[in-house]
Amino acid sequence: MSSHARRCTPLALVTVILGAVTALLVGAGTAGAAPAPAAAPPAAAPAPVAAPAPAVALTAGTPCDASADACVDLSSQQAWLTDGQGNVTYGPVGALGGTKKYPTPTGTFSVDYKDADHVSNLYDADMPFSVFFAPAIAFHTGSLSQRSHGCIHLGKTASKRFFANLSPGDTVQVVS
């Protein structure tokens, strides 16, 4: 053995062991520790704003939807026939609705049936070229100066044209 061999004293041995244990504990403590927090993610982009619902397409020159086959505007006292695709095929023509006591219903309806020689059981009145689109409500030939009991009065030529061009199931729209 060399004369330069060092003697290991108990104090030196304890110092070495404590140093090794400390190194292990410090290394082990950081090895299992959670990593440093990452940079915050970029702020989320604002949510896209939904586009407004598309407006219902109207038949040009009328206040009615393009899908209507017949259109009535009670306030202007006019009616039209259309192709159901937004194009006027006939009109405007004069059209007179009901009274305050017997108003013409507004909304979208379907033609129920037609009767060229209808006579009203309720009012004992001739209703030539009737096209019924709501219960007891029809387009028919009638006075354009005297209001109806809810029906749409048309002149004779117009009522014949409405009768010839509308069929059961066709859409009628009445607006006020």
Catalytic residues: 140, 151
SS3 of residue 32 by DSSP? coil
Please give the C-alpha separations between residue 136 and each of 15, 113, 149, 150, in angstroms, as whole numbers.
Answer: 110, 11, 9, 8
SS3 of residue 174 by DSSP? strand
> What's phi and psi for 73, nearest 5 deg?
-110, 105
> What span, in angstroms and rounded, lies between the C-alpha atoms of 133 and 138?
6
Q: Please say whether the beta carbons of 84 and 64 come within 8 A.
A: no
